Amino acid sequence: MNTQPTSRVLIERATPQDLELLLRIEQDSFSAPWTRKMLEVELNGNQFSHLFKARSICDGHASGDVVGYVCFWVVFDEVRVMNLVVEPSARRQGIAGDLVRSMLTLGQAHGAVRAILEVRASNLAARGLYEQMGFRETATRTRYYTNPTEDAILMEMNPLVIAGGEPSRASS
């Protein structure tokens, strides 16, 4: 894919070499983090899966530090957000927004016309982010999550529209 520079980060496709970094970010951010095996499957073994990483930019150059990632599936005409995380020290700088726009751009290029996701009811940061990006809450799944047990809020963007930020470059 073409890399997509934004003002804050460089967004690129993650590779199996990024596994340790992704695992660390995951463990720093979730009460029930994805395991190494789960990440390996998304990186190597799932034809629908895409994983984009965000690398910080310093003095116009990518520093190499991975500060966040998004994992999503493009299943026919639908983008399914599987995971999204930005490391705690890099939050509130628009990086998740950049990752979501890159995800939607690739989804659109592959023919997706809508996007869906689930989010913990207590996760007001993520709900706020998705709302800002144009997702709307459509339903609640009671006690969907474990560790801790919690409802899931289902969100949908239909039709898929890419809101705000730099126009994205074509990704393949």
Summarize as ranges the residues that interact with ligand COA (CB under 6 A): 29, 84-86, 91-97, 119, 123-126, 128-129, 132
Q: Which residue, 123 or 172, has its beta carbon nearer to ligand COA?
A: 123
CB of 163 to ligand COA, least distance (A): 11
DSSP state of 101: H
The C-alpha atoms of residue 151 and residue 171 are separated, in whole angstroms, by: 34
125 versus 161: smaller Cβ distance to ligand COA? 125
Residue 13 beta carbon to ligand COA: minimum distance, rounded to whole angstroms: 19
The C-alpha atoms of residue 78 and residue 115 are separated, in whole angstroms, by 5
Task: Please check whether residue 135 is in contact with residue 117, taking contact to mean a CB–CB distance below 8 angstroms.
Answer: yes
CA gap 141, 3 in Å, rounded: 36
Helix (H, G, I), strand (E, B) or coil at 165: coil
Cβ at position 100, least distance to ligand COA in Å: 8
CA within 13 Å, CB half, 140 = 6
Q: How far is the CB of 2 from ligand COA (least distance, A)?
A: 21
